Structure 1
Amino acid sequence: MKLVVLGLSLSSSWGNGHATTYRALLRAFAARGHEVLFLERDVPWYASHRDLAAPEFCELRLYGALDELKTRWASEVERADAVIVGSYVPDGVEVGRWVQKTARGVVAFYDIDTPVTLAKLAAGDHEYLHPDLIPGYHAYMSFTGGPTLERLERRYGSPAARALYCSVDAEAYRPLAEPTRWDLSYLGTYSPDRQPTLERLLLEPARRAPELKFCVAGPQYPADIDWPANVERLDHVGPTDHPAFYAASRYTLNVTRADMIEAGYSPSVRLFEAAACGTPIISDIWDGLETLFEPGREIVLALGSEEVLRALRDTDEGARRTMADRARARILAEHTAAHRAAELEAHLNEAVAAARRLETV
């Protein structure tokens, strides 16, 4: 099929998790024989941090404003078999209205931020999605599964809310033979609602265990954070360097945003990446995590610094490696980009079939 995607970013992974998600998914989708056009708003903060200007798996085109999008790319949107609008697209409400009016094929919304989106809608914040648009999307594909899908259908009128979790490119993310630099690392952009958990599960353990080494990588952290002396700071680690980053870590930490903890069933792409790289994960706790990894066998769950330090200090190397191997096997069996691309294809085909049934009524 011919697929057009209007997403936040494919060209730049700086300060967002969308780009790596789209890259893995669309590369695998194209490998299934489909043609993909990605349309991205040209904004200065991504223009100065582009790490994939010319993807080989799809056509990437930038547009400068809504008028340019509507005039230059209307025919592509009109003729596509399917059009996807992503969360956090600039002027996403107007983009969505235009797509629903212009496209002749099926239209879908891909929400990489579902709990945040629903919190915004509840507060009357329609930054990139208006409730009136949801029934007009043939499919609402969500980073969050579980009860949230029923809520999207019953409360907001989605014809078909389907889970489409993030995934990992198993070719790009694999174990590497790197010297160990850190006992525990964390990779993520600063977020105020994640910071208390980072404080509890990494900074406090670092203060209590000065003999251990820690790392926090990611942009936008405030200058006034008091980093312990044994915590190394990296401002940015590009996607191509993620496997080496994980390989240099005895464990890596997963920290979840508050809205996603409340919703549950909202795995971060970092979970899948780290596991695919063979690095054991210590995670905060939320509903649905047990459907992805078996606690105690494939992942360490931690409420506070005690559980973190117990894993770092008391787990022997054999047990650590066994846990990592189990988690990697789980990811390769269920959560690669190839799995997710097949799910995307199935969701779009389901939407096409449903639209055709409506036409015959």
Structure 2
Amino acid sequence: MKTSKLHIAFFGSSLVSAYWNGAATYYRGIVRALHARGHHVTFYEPDAYDRQQNRDIPDPEYATVVVYEATEDAVHRCLAQAAAEADMIVKASGVGVFDELLEREVAKLRSDDRLVVFWDVDAPATLDRVHANPNDQFLGLIPLYDLVLTYGGGDPVIRAYEALGARQCVPIYNALDTATHYPVAPEERFACDLAFLGNRLPDREARVEEFFLRPAAATPSQTFLIGGSGWADKPMPANVKYVGHVYTNDHNAFNCTPKAVLNISRESMARYGFSPATRVFEAAGAGACIITDYWEGIDMFFEPDQEILVAKDGDDLAAIIATLTPEQARTIGQAAYRKVLAAHTYEHRVEQLEQVLNGEFVKGEVVKDEVVR
């Protein structure tokens, strides 16, 4: 399918609100870059989970946003509108309302002149779910989609989806949105030695205890800061400050101010590997010195010890933060900043997506001399 000026209908959790919605900045980066390359996106999102009451942005100029009531009738009306207008219909994972209905009905809309795509923004969790339940309806739907795109996961996720019958599975990794994430002046409210930003989720909490709270307790002379929803009643050492939900317009200051910024993967993403969080690229785009928990595939994106620091456990993290100097942190942050601009922006990712849609991308390699059909 040639990609000149596609009309894309995108069913996702929310484009306009990052409230309990970590995928928001990923969606914004992808959709903004699609718009810049001449495509039109209508983003359908449900009015659910108080997201509309906690918007980060107004309706953006780079997409048409349709907020629908969290009812079955409203879903069907949006599906009918998408079928009438779109060349490509995307069902993202984790919409949060009527996901099973959307998975079924979007798959039915496949035709000779319309692609249907399942875009999995949490492939490890989806794959774990269907492997654990042979009666999961999604197992029978996977082969019906023209394409499965994923937030990450590398070869382990590709092989897993292909084994379940996917026609093609391609990771479209997180990246930097240069329009929204960039270096800014530091702000005193985010001053600390190490900051972590992430919502409290069941398969992340144990890793936050290991990679953040235990090192904080072990290094009382260092200051720590945690942002995100859900942590208010979590016991924390005295040298940890909790700042609550951090709106996206504060992310740059949050990343630029601390000596270092910590990335902690959710357990399932760490287990599959090759799943850098959006915030890794956002922090790099602000010139932050990033410390990440270990997961396979880090060196596909940043060079350990030069562009990113890697901790294999809490003891490792405590040793890193205790010895890291501000000068070392600045050097590493600047190296990450150069790398992310050169190789990891959403413009890079959407160029790859267009190659996939044009049949010019096979198993991670762009075919230069022939078009694969």
The worse-fitting range, judged by mean Cα deviation, of 66-75 and 114-123 is 66-75
The residue aligned with 1:34 is 39
Q: Secondary structure of the equivalent of 1:229?
A: coil
Structure 2 Cα separation of the partners of residues 222 and 268 of structure 1:
23
Q: 1:70 aligns to what?
A: 76
Does the CA contact (< 8 Å) of 2:110 and 2:145 recur in 1?
A: no
Whether the 8 Å CA contact 2:79–2:106 is kept in 1: the answer is no
Mapping of residues 258-269 of structure 1, within 5 Å: 258-269=267-278
Can you list the C-alpha shifts for 1:11-59, whole angstroms capped at 9, x where unaligned? 2101121111111110111011111100111214213212224111100
Q: Deviations over 1:68-122 (max 9, x none)?
A: 2323541432431111100012222221221222354001011000000001111
Partner in structure 2 of residue 85 of structure 1: 91
The answer to which of 61-70 and 118-127 deviates more is: 118-127
Cα offset, 1:346, TM superposition: 2.4
User: 1:308-361 CA deviation, whole Å, 9 max, x = no partner?
Assistant: 23332323333222111111111111111111121222223339xxxxxxxxx9
Q: Which 10-residue stretch deviates more, 274-283 or 87-96?
A: 87-96
Distance 2:268 2:221 in 1: 34
- In the alignment, the residues of structure 2 paired with residue 345 and residue 132 of structure 1 have an alpha-carbon distance, to the nearest angstrom, of 27
Q: Kindly indicate whether residue 279 of structure 2 is the aligned counterpart of residue 255 of structure 1.
A: no
Alignment of 1:1-361 (within 5 A): 1-64=6-69, 65-89=71-95, 90-104=97-111, 105-124=114-133, 130-143=138-151, 144-153=153-162, 155-179=163-187, 181-221=191-231, 223=233, 225-350=234-359
Task: Specify the alignment match of 1:357 in structure 2.
Answer: none
CA contact (8 A) 1:116 1:259 kept: yes
Gaps of 5+ in 2: 1-5, 361-372
Gap runs ≥5 in structure 1: 352-360
Counterpart Cα distance in 2 of 1:202 and 1:71: 45
Report the residue type matching 1:221 in the other structure.
Answer: W
Q: Would you say the 8 A contact 1:21–1:167 is kept in 2?
A: yes
TM-score with structure 1 setting the length: 0.91
Q: Which residue of 1 aligns with 2:364?
A: none
SS at match of 2:50: helix
Kept in 2, the 8 Å contact 1:110–1:141? The answer is yes
Tell me the TM-score normalized by structure 2.
Answer: 0.88
RMSD: 2.0
Identical aligned pairs, as a percentage? 33
Query: How many residue pairs align between the two structures?
Result: 349
